[in-house]
Structure 1
Amino acid sequence: MTIKKLLLGATAAMAVATGAMAQDDKTKVGFIYVGPIGDLGWSYQHDQGRLAVEEAFGDQVETVYVESVPEGPDAERVLTQMALQGADMIFTTSFGFMEATMNVAQKFPDVKFEHATGYQRADNVSTYSARFYEGRAVQGLIAGEMTESNIIGYIGSYPIPEVIRGINAAYIQAKKVNPEVEFRIVWAYTWFDPAKEAEAAKALIDAGADVILQHTDSTAPQAAAQEAGDVITFGQASDMLDYAPKPRVSSIIDNWNQYYVDRVGAVIDGTWESTDTWAGIDSGMVEIGEITEAVPAEVREAALELKDAIAAGEVHPFTGPLNKQDGSEWLAEGETADDGTLLGLNFYVEGIEGDIPQ
């Protein structure tokens, strides 16, 4: 996509999202998405948050959005365009938008920025993310109980701590319920590319995996599993119910609605401050989608019990004894990983084979 087309797309999307020109007293809120909102995954869920803002504030706000924005220079150009067109606040909804967010925020100090899954902040830049690893633990339990081949496939996007946390959390729980389980990991090096995601899923299935987990955004792995038959999957970021009751047997749902409403409300009433938010199942930012009848009742019950225990703070997915992949001790009996360690997690736990790409 050329930048000319990208900026023309930005204007078109803004027109679709807003209709008539906004009144001067409206708060203008922008959103940029790394994928199409029709992905039924990550970008779709962020756009549901945008719609929740419109519903909550009505004529007080004007929302604009641009979808399928590449990470890198194009993101910076789109953000600059959005700021120049009068955005009071912009949500930048992908890890790879971090540098662009910081650069544009410095040029527009009166615009409030909210960056998803990043770690760099400024006076006008907040960061926010969800504890996806909590949902991965629940998926790991179901996967470990339901695999017959004892091979679970995992499609990673990029080897960053967020994704590595999820792999580890799923493996730890799967191993607890099924000591024979193995994880096979394929890195797609994309957040959204249906062809690459389908290729990764097929490679894992060919390697014997009868369960597929994904940290990519399209439904292509679901379709590949459906075509293969006798393979189960989990929805990523949104429910992906089109593939229920099987292969999709449950899902992690990223619910940004309340966070977006709260943060826009803070801009409207003048109380917005730069903050860092990392919320999980207990807050509702991470939800577990319907566990279908394809999952045995006793497994469904155990998964829901684990979800509730995590929400109540009774269970932490990273609780020792746990060793690092090389066998060295990481967490002693009963010890839990602190947030600082988890935010920088760059290693597999013991039992996962293969290297993390550098």
Structure 2
Amino acid sequence: MHSDSFKFAISRRALIKTAGASALVAAAGLPSRLFAADPIKVAAIYTVPVEQQWVSRIHKAANAAKERGDIEYVYSENTANNDYERVMREYCEAGHKLVLGEVFGVEDAARAVAKDYPDVAFLMGSSFKPDAAVPNFSVFDNYIQDASYLSGLIAGAMTKSKNIGMVGGYPIPEVNRLMNAFMAGVKEVAPDTKFQVAFIGSWFDPPKAKETAFAQIDGGADLLYAERFGVSDAAKERKILAIGNVIDTQADYPDTVVASALWHFEPTLDKAIAEVKAGTFKADDYGVYSFMKNGGCSLAPLGTFDGKVPDDIKAKVAEKEKMIKGGSFTVEINDAEPKSS
């Protein structure tokens, strides 16, 4: 499905329409043929629906950039892995200058397409690093371990059974690091906490995530880490607590979701748009733009739970957040698969 909606945010700065500027752009490499006030054509390819947590943040950022007039934006959702390369090529042939997406299952094909279209910039969610051999292919990931750690501090104070269930999509780095950071936060407050860790083998299967969560509740969990949709539904039905991931769902679960680690894709996308418009886009790792110190993540307001989280924990969270932003405390990036304990 091709649509002109919202997803993946972007930014500003443009080239001056002079022969001298054109020469500089050509010398810098990519892209070319951009003029001062022209929005760049951006296309995004998603393997899941745009309401899925991770992709929804990209979509939101892209729509914000579109509304600012920085980009034109189209997207495809629910694109199967075996169809991903074809859709990429179609967007390139249609003149899009920046292509966004997630290529966790189609790395080789995506990089091959990028090689065939050197004048197109690619910014792709990936577990792998940029390659100088494909200078127009940059990677990003949601490095929101800072906010995940802070949510763990809160969870450690809120669990009474000291038994927490965690349901993830796949045990890949971008999921593992968030779970590990969350677990580290929990252990700092409640070191004797046990974890039940499970992966459902899907990025979007709410019924399966819900059933997995029910099993963990039956196993003694009184708080769930909702890395996937469906987990908070199980928590709500069984009247236990949940911690959200990537988006804030407390409005939908006011008595269930205590806190959430939020991902803000805007800094990542804005940086890429600025590079494309300046003709300086190159193979790079944009992961750092998801760090808290760069505005790429935050802890959602406690909202309905503001009066229920202990004051000493709220003070600890505020202190740690200040330290993270100031650089005096660094949350470990641990991409190893988390295990039940």
| Pairwise same-fold verdict (TM > 0.5) | yes
Query: Is 1:114–2:104 an aligned residue pair?
Result: no
After superposition, what is the alpha-carbon deviation per residue over 1:98-130, rounded to whole angstroms, capped at 9, x for unaligned?
333212112212111001243242201011223
Q: For 1:184 and 1:285, locate their aligned partners in 2 and report how far apart those are by CA, in whole Å.
A: 28
Deviation (angstroms), 1:81: 1.8
Match of 2:237 among 212, 227, 232: 227
1:250 is paired with a residue whose SS is strand
Candidates 81, 88, 105, aligned match of 2:97: 88
TM-score, normalising length: structure 2: 0.82
Structure 1 position 45, deviation (Å): 1.0
Aligned to 1:197: 209
Aligned with residue 310 of structure 2, among 281, 284, 296: 296
Are residues 1:307 and 2:318 paired? no
Matches within 5 A, 1:36-185: 36-39=49-52, 41-56=53-68, 58=69, 61-70=71-80, 72-93=81-102, 95-121=104-130, 122-185=134-197
2-structure distance, mates of 1:260, 1:33: 16
Q: What 5-or-longer segments of structure 2 have no aligned partner?
A: 7-33
Question: 2:120 & 2:91 partners in 1: Cα distance?
Answer: 10
* C-alpha separation in 2, matches of 1:94 and 1:209: 34
Give, in whole Å, the separation in 2 of the partners of 1:101 and 1:92: 10
Cα distance in 2 for residues equivalent to 1:285 and 1:193: 26
Displacement of 1:228 in angstroms is 0.9
Q: Which letter maps to 1:224?
A: A
Kindly state the Cα deviation for residue 269 of structure 1 after the two structures are TM-superposed. 2.6
Alignment of 1:240-319 (within 5 A): 240-279=249-288, 280-291=291-302, 292-293=305-306, 294-318=308-332
Offset, 1:161: 2.3
**CA offset digits 1:177-209 (Å, max 9, x no partner):** 112200100111111111111112211111111
Aligned residue-pair number: 304
With over 3 angstroms needed to count, the CA separation of the structure-2 counterparts of 1:246 and 1:97, relative to structure 1, is: farther
Moved over 3 A (4+): 23-26
User: What is the rounded CA distance, in whole Å, between the counterparts of 2:106 and 2:57 in structure 1?
Assistant: 17
TM-score after normalising by structure 1: 0.78
1 or 2 for the larger relative contact order (CA 8 Å, sep ≥6)? 2
Mapped partners of 2:135, 2:246: distance in 1 = 29
Shift, 1:215, TM fit = 2.6
Structure 1, unmatched stretches of 5+, are 1-8, 18-22, 319-338
CA distance in 1, matches of 2:219, 2:150: 24
Provide Cα deviations, 1:270-290, integer angstroms capped at 9, x if missing partner.
222221122211111011111
Letter in 1 for 2:113: V
Are 1:211 and 2:223 counterparts? yes
* Cα separation, 2, equivalents of 1:295 and 1:138: 13
Q: Of 12, 32, 42, which residue of structure 2 is paired with 1:29?
A: 42
Q: Which amino acid aligns with 1:68?
A: N
1:324 matched residue in structure 2: none
**Distance in 1 between residues matched to 2:79 and 2:61, nearest whole Å:** 18
One-letter code aligned to 1:95: F
Q: Which one-letter code corresponds to 1:175 in the other structure?
A: K
Match for 1:212: what amino acid?
A: L
